[in-house]
Amino acid sequence: MTRHYLSSIFMLCLLFSTNALCAQGAEEEPKDTVTAVVIEEEPEKKKKKSPFKEYAEVITEDAESTMGLFNTHRVEDKYYFEIPFDKFGKDMLLVSRIAKIPANLGGGYFNAGTKTNEQLVHWTRNHNNIHLKSISYNSVADEELPINISVQNNNYAPLIMSFKIEAFNEDSTAAVISVNDLFLTDVPAISGLSSRVRTSYKVRSLDKKRSFIDRMAAYPENVEVRHDMTFSSSQPPSNRKSGTISMQMAQSLYLLPEEPMQPRLFDERIGWFTVSQVDYGSEALKADRKTYLSRWRLEPKDPVAYAKGKLVEPVKPIVYYIDPATPEKFVPYFIQGIQDWQVAFEAAGFKNAIIAKRAPTKEEDPDWSAEDARYSTVRYVASETRNAMGPSVSDPRSGEIIESDIIWYHNHLRSYRNRYLLETGAANPSARTLNTSPEEIGEMMRMVIAHEIGHALGLPHNMKASYAYPVDSLRSATFTNKWGLATTIMDYTRYNYVAQPGDKGVRWVRMLGPYDVYAINWGYRVIPEANSAEAELPTLRKWIADKKGDPKFLFGGRNSYDPSSQTESVGDDPVKASTYGLMNLKRVAPNLAEWTATSGEGYADLEELYGELLGVWSRFSGHVTSNVGGVYEHLRTTDEKGFTYTPLDRGEQEASVAFLNDHVFSTPDWLLQENIVRNIGPDGVMPRIRSLQERQLNGLLRSDRLARLVEQEALNGEKAYPLTDMLEDLREGLWSELESGAEIDGFRRNLQRSHVAKLGMLLKEDAEKRTDVGAAARAELRMIAEAVSDPAGKYKAGIIRYHLQDIAALIDEMLDND
């Protein structure tokens, strides 16, 4: 027997220990020597290595883990999601917010809590990778319809990121992926910096070495991640020498309900936050945009009793928890502000629909967290930001509000204290101090929280609500204590600034009104017989028709052309309301130094309050400016009589320009209190007043406002206030000294320069269009040039003559370049 054959037998025995060939022994000749030779020459097959690691290799004993919607793990500086297969393809909402923000980012339009993106996402598997996709519900069609194929093909979901599967859990029901790259690279879908902001601050790139995941936690219905992002920037908004923008982002991933809530269709005559979809399966001969209300899912526990008109508790009430960080003295007011909405929900047929609770202590519930999506909270933030917010998260499929966190920033107290003193101090003795009583501050906070809760319930600002009440009714204690200052808490009607000294017992602070009750009933009352959004429409439209003609139930968002939809206004007559308000400011100004004085301290409070006083005066002026070229907007449907847009009559507009000439463009001597201006700085008062006067002048001469005057004259003839008449009235007011030969003081000279400059800008803007606005501006400049020539020599050598000569030269230059 050859050595060659023996070695073959030995190897076969090793490989097949039970094989008969091994049992024959070495002496017997093989029956099939060819087979033996083939086996000897065939190479050993290597077992293919798995691309996945063992679970224990990835999620080690040292892992810090949280369990919830899906498990999260931290192993040293690596972070993992453990995503169950049964969550693949499920609708989840990914919400990106700024959690911590550098000073001045966005020029004050961003703050901690600002939402930067909200998107519906799916987790899917592709071979050995997990994909995170952004799913759009903007375009939809019933799955049974053929057009749904086209909708899907033309709305292919973008891929946010692909992740390699690292391992499977021990029972192979979940995949483990590393998510470091999702949160530590610059992923646009979850970034806090838009392209506009990046350009503004010259952001170059994300510095991965200075970016990190702060924490990660799973809860039963959501997963929360906090990650710090540091960008290299040539012009950061603060700390310029650092060349850096650092911010912390909050990423919240919510599991949406398996069965979407029945949506309710939006009607623009009732203000509401909404979600929209384009329904390609609609019978309408177009792509049919459907807009649904954002609202909580309130369903009656006893549908039969509810249908009979009885008050019924909801299956799941709206519950807000009060942040444990809230100062104890304010907690009762926060609770009241939330539960003030009970009366509105009772009108909708629900009792105990909205409840406020103190957050449980660690001893009461160690697992309770404000970040748990099962809990909505009113969070008290120790910040110098002067604001409050009422955000919520909605299901884009139906509009169902999933979760909400009201944010109260501590320094917002300062804003309300200051405005209370300035706007009511003339007639309200208790407001004449920086140490506003806890009870009064508490009442203000209660109403701010109620306002923010209104947002979280789905209601936007309704700026038309204040216009429903006559101005003089706001001087009545009986009226204001019954009806408040506006028909809704959702207007920016904070204080009663028209009440005069002697108007005893009036209400100073806003409150809920009849529109709030009406809107909540319209949005939340269940219509038992309607099993679809479309089936609800006849009832919803009838509820609006029932209130037809009553201004208490009108809605209007803020716009630049409707004087009945302005922020911070009260009453139905801006000229009268601003006249009352100005009378009060003139009473406050001489007392401001005394009311803000604190023994042993400087004048910082006086300077702050004086600046805010100028701002209040500017707002009062702006309400009147909005009358000029103004158009009332009354939202209607085609089956209603009347017009949607109605211009103000000539008399109202003329009276507004007269007010501006008399009270805004004249020198405000009442603001030049010696005990103020000599204590807040060596200079700067003139530029501040010029800036505010200029703001109203520029607002009055806005090209869109002037274009409306041209159109109103063309359409309405003698009823209209012609553009040329308005410009003439303004000119005669601004340059009145030229007629009488009176002194032109420094404030007026500044304003006259601004007037000429603005007319020159109108010429430039109109250079290509060549409209009536440009023609009228050119004529005004020529008339001013003629008026300042001073042929009678009324003004001798000095600054006034130099000013007039400068104006003439400036106009010549403008007309030469025209």
Question: What is the mean predicted confidence (pLDDT) over 458-473?
Answer: 96
Report the relative pairing of strands 631-633 and 212-219 from DSSP bridges.
Answer: unpaired
| Percentage of residues of the chain with pLDDT beyond 70 | 89
How far is residue 391 CA from its own chain's centroid? Answer: 8
| Closest CA relative to residue 391, chosen from 568, 402, 216 | 402
Which is more confidently placed, 419 or 145? 419
Pairwise CA distance, residues 623 & 570, whole Å: 10
Tell whether the model's pLDDT for residue 557 goes beyond 70.
Answer: yes
The pLDDT assigned to 38 comes to: 43
HEC string for 605-635: HHHHHHHHHHHHHHHHHHHHHCCCCCEEECC
Who contacts 747 (Cβ-Cβ below 8 Å, separation ≥6)? 667, 668, 686, 689, 690, 693
Determine the 3-state secondary structure of 565 from DSSP.
coil
**What distance lies between CA 697 and its chain's CA centroid?**
29
Greatest Cα-to-Cα distance within the chain, rounded to the nearest angstrom: 143
Question: How confident is residue 155, by pLDDT bands cut at 50, 70 and 90?
Answer: low
pLDDT at 243: 87
Is the confidence at residue 572, as pLDDT, over 90?
yes
Three-state SS for 376-413 is: EEEEEECCCCCCEECCEEECCCCCEEEEEEEEEECCHH
- Picking from 101, 404, 362, 390, the residue whose alpha carbon sits closest to that of residue 254 is 404
Query: What pLDDT sits at residue 368?
Result: 81
CA distance 808 to 813: 9
Q: Provide φ and ψ at 232, rounded to 5°.
A: -80, 130
Give mean pLDDT, residues 21-33.
Answer: 39
Residue 540 has pLDDT above 70, yes or no: yes
Higher-pLDDT residue of 413, 274: 274
DSSP 8-class letter at 98? E
Grade residue 47 by pLDDT with cuts at 50, 70 and 90: low
Q: Find the length of the chain.
A: 818
Q: Is the pLDDT of residue 29 over 60?
A: no
Cβ contacts of residue 655 below 8 Å, gap of 6+? 575, 627
- Across the range 616-638, mean pLDDT stands at 95
Q: How far is CA 790 from CA 331, 460, 727, 798, in A?
A: 67, 55, 21, 14
Torsion of CA 182, 185, 190, 191, to 10 degrees: 170
The least confident of 10-24, 94-108, 213-227, 516-530 is 10-24
As to burial, measured by CB atoms within 10 angstroms (0-12 exposed, 13-18 middle, 19+ buried), residue 679 is: middle
Q: Is 505 helix (H, G, I), strand (E, B) or coil?
A: coil
Using one digit for the tens of pLDDT, what is the confidence trace for 90-125? 999 998 988 888 877 876 567 677 788 889 999 999
Confidence tier at 45 by pLDDT (50, 70, 90): low
Greater pLDDT, 413 or 659 = 659
Q: What pLDDT, on a 0 to 100 scale, did the predictor assign at position 16? A: 40
Range of lowest pLDDT (152-166, 487-501, 523-537, 645-659): 152-166
Q: How many CB atoms lie within 10 A of CB 118?
A: 15
With tokens 């550098």, the residue in question is: 102
Dist. CA 102–CA 400, nearest whole Å:
33
Q: In the predicted model, what is the mean pLDDT of residues 433-461?
A: 94
Could you give the percent of the chain with pLDDT greater than 90? 71
Q: Say whether 780 sits in a helix, a strand or coil.
A: helix
Question: Quick one: DSSP state of residue 257?
Answer: P
Position 816 pLDDT exceeds 90: no
Higher pLDDT, 307 or 792: 307
Quick check: 208 and 180 in contact, CB under 8 A?
Answer: no
For the chain, give the mean pLDDT: 88
Q: What is the pLDDT of residue 792?
A: 65
Confidence band for 279, pLDDT divided at 50, 70 and 90: low
* pLDDT for the residue 97: 87
pLDDT band at 383 (very low <50, low <70, confident <90, very high): low
* Mean pLDDT computed over 292-306: 97
pLDDT of residue 152: 53
Looking at residue 31, what is its pLDDT? 41
pLDDT band at 3 (very low <50, low <70, confident <90, very high): very low
CA 561 to chain centre: 22
Contact 570, 496 (CB under 8 A): yes
Q: What is the pLDDT at residue 284?
A: 54
Amino acid (one-letter) located at 24: Q
Lowest mean pLDDT among 129-133, 140-144, 438-442: 140-144
Residue 63 contacts by C-beta under 8 Å, 6 or more apart in sequence? 73, 74, 75
Rg (Cα) of the chain, in Å, rounded?
A: 35
Rounded to whole angstroms, the Cα distance separating 462 from 485 reads 13
**What is the band of 382 on the pLDDT scale with cuts at 50, 70, 90?**
low
